[in-house]
Structure formats: structure tokens, C-alpha cells
Amino acid sequence: MKCCANIEVVCYFVMPCSDVVTIPIIPTETETLKMVSTFNRTNYAVDIEVQAGQPIVIPNSLNEYANTSVRFYKADGSLLNDTCYILVAFPTFLPVDQEGNTLNIVSDRYDFCLSMSFTVETLR
């Protein structure tokens, strides 16, 4: 597994009952990618078709309250955009308290998530 010189945090909304999720990562080529996600130190891999200039659509198999490490591998083994991603999902519904008032927990977390894009130096 390659080391990641670039790590990007990607925040997206998910409808829990949907079969697929659109994430805001835009490939430059139409191709088949191998998506490898890591959660609780377990890797899951699936091939996905992506379209140049269109957001990536992935299976809705990620936990909407967890951060998941994801790598998209091209056919030649290189990483899409030379980047590893941390996907942070947010459900499309907001929690409510006992009186029916909408809680602002998700939107505060989403705003924080949007500010988290960063690059790290590859360890050698």
C-alpha cells in the first residue's frame, strides 16, 4: 500500500436508505477505479465506474457517523489525484430533542469538517 503524501477530508451528505452516495470528488478521466475503504482496521474493496468531470458515486456502505479512510486506485496502481481521502458522512436528517426542536449538532460538525482539508508530508 502506498504512503499518502496528500490527505483530503471530504464531507458529504448521505440518505441512510439509499443504495448509492455521491461524493464531491471529481475525476479527470472516465475509467474503472478500485475503491479501498478502511474502517476499524478492516479493508473493503469494490470496483466503481467513474465519469470524467462528474462527482464519484459509491455504494452506500459507509457508516454515516464515522470517518472512513478511502483510496481510489487507477488501473496502473496509482492513486486518483495522488490523494488519500477521509470521508466524513452526514445523514440528511437532523436529530431533534424531546420537544421536537432541531438540534444543531450535525451542522456544527459539518462546518468543522469543511475546514479540515490538509496535506501531510510522506514519512520516509
**Tens digits of residue pLDDT in 61-80:** 776 667 888 999 999 999 99
**3-class DSSP state of 108:** helix
- pLDDT band at 102, cuts 50/70/90? low
Say if domain 6-117 classifies as CATH 3.40.1350.
no
Distance CA 25, CA 6 (A): 14
Q: Is the pLDDT of residue 41 over 50?
A: yes
**3-class DSSP state of 3:** coil
Predicted confidence at residue 123, as pLDDT, reads 33
Q: Are 44 and 37 in contact (CB under 8 A)?
A: yes
Residue of higher predicted confidence among 53 and 103: 53
Q: DSSP assignment of 37-96, as one string?
A: EEETTEEEEEEEEE-TTS-EEEES-S-TTSEEEEEEE-TTSPBGGG-EEEEEEEESS--B
Predicted confidence at residue 122, as pLDDT, reads 36
Q: Is the pLDDT of residue 28 over 70?
A: yes
